[in-house]
Structure 1
C-alpha cells in the first residue's frame, strides 16, 4: 500500500461516527494535518472531522505510529471532550514564548466592550491559566508512547477554551473574554482580517493541498498586531524550509464581516 493508502485505511478503520467512516478526502486532509504536527509546522491539531472520541483518535494515532508514518512523540489530549493531537515539544515551546517574549497578541472581546482591544497576556487570570497549561505540557513532554488519551483534570473546567485553543494551535493572536460575565462577544459586525496558511502535502507522487492555519484579528487592531503577525509568518517560513514533506507554502489574507461570531 502507498503512504496515502495507509493513512486513509487507518482513518477509515478507527475514526467512524456510528457506522459512517471518514471520506477519502477527509482522511487525506487529516493525514496532512497530522504530518504537519509531527514535523512541527503546527504544534497541535484540534480534531473536528466528525464526532469520533478521543479514544478513537488515539487508536488512529497509535496505528500511524506502529506503521512508522509519524513519530512516537505525538500524543492525544482530551480537553473537556475536545480531542487534540499534539507535538509536546512544539506546543510547550509556543506557550513558553507567551511568558518570555509576549509574542502572542491576546484580544479581549468581552460582550460588555464597545469594540475589541488588545490586553496584557499576563494579567491575573490569564497568567494563572497559561501557567497551568504550561505545567500540563511539561508533564506531557516526559511521557513515553501513550496507549490512551491524556485527560485534563477538573482544573480545565475554569479555563477559557477559546484562549487555550489559540495557544495550543500556535496562533499568533487568540481571543479572550470573561466567561464569568458572559460567553457572548463583541465581534458582531466587526471587520475581521482572516489569515490563512496553506501548503501541498507530498505523500507519494500525488500532492494534497492542506490548510495549516486559519485565524482572524479585528481589522482595527491589525496595525497593533502587525509585528506579532510578521514574526509568526517568518517563523513559519523558517520551519517550512527545514522539511521536504510539504511544498508551496502560501499565506494570504481576506476581510470578512459577520452578523455573529461563535468562539
Structure 2
C-alpha cells in the first residue's frame, strides 16, 4: 500500500471515530481496522462486530462512507445496531449465510450454562428458540435490501433491531460466521462452565498485500470444547471448505492459514 492510501485510511479514522479525551488510533490500528472491513467487503466474513472503540453507530457509518470514497471497497455495506453493539454487514453474504444455517437440521449450539459440570449440545428447545430469533434478524436484513434499492448508490445504510429475550453471545456467533456458537441461560447467570475446560482453539489468518506485505491479519478465532469436538467435526470441516472456496474467489488476501491449539483458561468471558 502506498503512503497516500495509508494517509487516507488514517485520516478516515481521525475524521470520524475520534473520541474526546482518548488517545488517537495508531497507524497500525487504523490498518488493522481496515483489514476487518475488507474481510466483510470481499465476503470472507458476513459481518464484523466493531469493538475498536466506544464510537457510536453514526460515527461508524461515517467511517465506512469515508472508506468508500477511497475506492478500496467494492460493495455497499450496512450498519446494524443491536442494543449497544454495532456490526458492519455485507447484506448479501449475511443473508445467504443465515439462510443456509437455518436450513440445517438443528443449529450447531453448545450449551455452556453455569449449572452444568461440562459443556453439552444444546437441547432442542434452545435451538428452536435461537432459530426463531435468527429468522427475525434474517427478515429484517432482507427488508434492508429492499430499502437499499431505493437509496442512492454508494451510501452506507443503517438500521437497528433488538429484543431483550436474545442471547447476543449466541446470535453474534452466527452473525460473525463461526461454525458453532455458545449459549447459556443469561436469565439465571452470565457465568459459564468453561473454566479450565479443554478447548480446541481455531485461528484463521492471511496476509493482506493491499495493506502491508508483512502484516498478517487474523480473520477468525473461535473455540470448541474438546469433549464435543467429534460431535461438531463435520460442521467445522465443511465450514473450512466453504471458507477456502470464498478465499479462492477473492484477491485482497493471500497465504491463508489455519492453526489449531489446545488451551485451558481459568475463566472464559463470552
Query: Do the structures match in fold with TM over 0.5?
Result: yes
Cross-structure match for 1:186? 193
- 8 A contact 1:109–1:186 mirrored in 2: yes
Q: How does 1:77-226 map to 2 (within 5 A)?
A: 77-102=80-105, 105-119=108-122, 123-144=127-148, 146=155, 149-152=158-161, 155-203=162-210, 206-226=213-233
Q: Of 11, 26, 31, which aligns to 2:13? A: 11
Q: Secondary structure at the match of 1:212?
A: strand
Count of aligned residue pairs for this structure pair: 261
Q: Deviations over 1:167-193 (max 9, x none)?
A: 110000100112222221111111111
**Per-residue CA distance 1:71-120 (angstroms, 9 max, x = gap):** 34211111111111110111111111221124852111111112111225
Change (3 A) 1:185 1:176: same
Structure 1: segments with no counterpart, 5+ residues: none
**Change beyond 3 A, Cα 1:197–1:139:** same
TM-score of the pair, normalised by structure 2: 0.90
Given that residues 103 and 228 in structure 1 are in contact (C-alpha distance below 8 angstroms), is that contact kept between their aligned partners in structure 2?
no
- Residue from 6, 28, 33 that aligns with 2:31: 28
Larger mean Cα displacement after TM superposition, 187-196 or 64-73: 64-73
Long gaps (5+) in structure 2: 149-153
User: For structure 1, which segment, 191-200 or 119-128, has the greater mean C-alpha deviation from structure 2 after superposition?
Assistant: 119-128
Answer whether contact 2:111 2:182 (CA < 8 A) is retained.
yes
Question: For 2:91 and 2:32, how far apart are their aligned partners in 1?
Answer: 22
Task: Compute the RMSD of aligned alpha carbons.
Answer: 2.0
SS of structure 2 residue aligned to 1:124:
helix
Q: If the length of structure 1 is used for normalisation, what is the TM-score?
A: 0.92
- 2:48 corresponds in structure 1 to 45
CA distance in 2, matches of 1:147, 1:201: 24
